[in-house]
Amino acid sequence: MTAFSRPSVLQKTASITLSKPVQVTLYMLLSTLVIWTFFFSTYPAAHNTTHSARHHTLGVACH
C-alpha cells in the first residue's frame, strides 16, 4: 500500500461545492433572486408589502 492515496471523485466534488467562493456566490445569487422577486412581483401580498420601499429606494413606477 502506498503512503499517498488519491482522493475520490466524491471528495473532490465536496471540496469544490463547499468552498467559500462557491458558497458566497450561491448566497449572493439566492439573495438577489429573493430581492428581485419581491421588488418586481405582481403578486398582491408581495407587492403591497414592498410597495413603499420599491418607490423610495428604486424609483420604480408600478402603476
Q: How many residues does the chain have?
A: 63
**pTM to 2 decimals?**
0.52
Helix locations, 1-63, DSSP H: 9-17, 20-39, 44-49, 51-53
Written as nine digits, the cell of 59 is 424609483
d(CA 58, CA 38): 13
**Is 60 exceeded by the pLDDT of residue 19?**
yes
Mean pLDDT along residues 23-40? 88
Q: What is the reported pLDDT for 24? A: 92
